[in-house]
Amino acid sequence: MPHNRDVPWSDEQVEMPEDLLQKWECRTEWLDDLHWVQIAEGPCPGCDADISGYTSNEPGPIYRQLLEAEGEPGKGLQVKVPVDCNCGFDHKQKDAGGCGRSCIPICAVSAPPRKDNHQEVAEDGA
């Protein structure tokens, strides 16, 4: 569905219905052995524009352990990714930059890349 620029601005958080959630894509970008950024992209629940948001983890080996324990990527840890409409249109609200809706898709974090050298990670993340 194309971006509906006629939707009036409204400051509200929208629950993600299952059919809309299925249109969202999530990906994990690992910054190093313990730090990741989870990116969610999909249609705005208000105006149908393509929007995106991200969240990142706090450092700590527990994330890697959770992901590796399950054996399947994405089964060990799920995170909520807050997303505000950032479509770039004002939707009849001066300088809004979006339709005002926000949503929180839940994304599975993919397993970190395996290291060949199997270095042990200290509990403090150092």
Alpha helix ranges (H) inside 1-126:
18-21, 62-70
Pairing mode of beta strands 12-13, 101-103: parallel
Other CB atoms closer than 10 Å to residue 59's CB: what's the count? 14
Question: Average pLDDT in the 90-118 region?
Answer: 81
99 to 3, 10, 50: CA distances (angstroms): 11, 6, 12
- pTM of the predicted model, to two decimals? 0.74
In this prediction, residue 30 carries a pLDDT of 83
Residue 78 binned pLDDT confidence (cut-offs 50, 70, 90): confident
Residue 119 binned pLDDT confidence (cut-offs 50, 70, 90): very low
In this prediction, residue 40 carries a pLDDT of 94
Q: Which one, of 106, 34, 27, lies nearest residue 67 by Cα?
A: 34
Question: Average pLDDT in the 50-62 region?
Answer: 78
Distance of CA 83 to the CA centre of its chain: 7
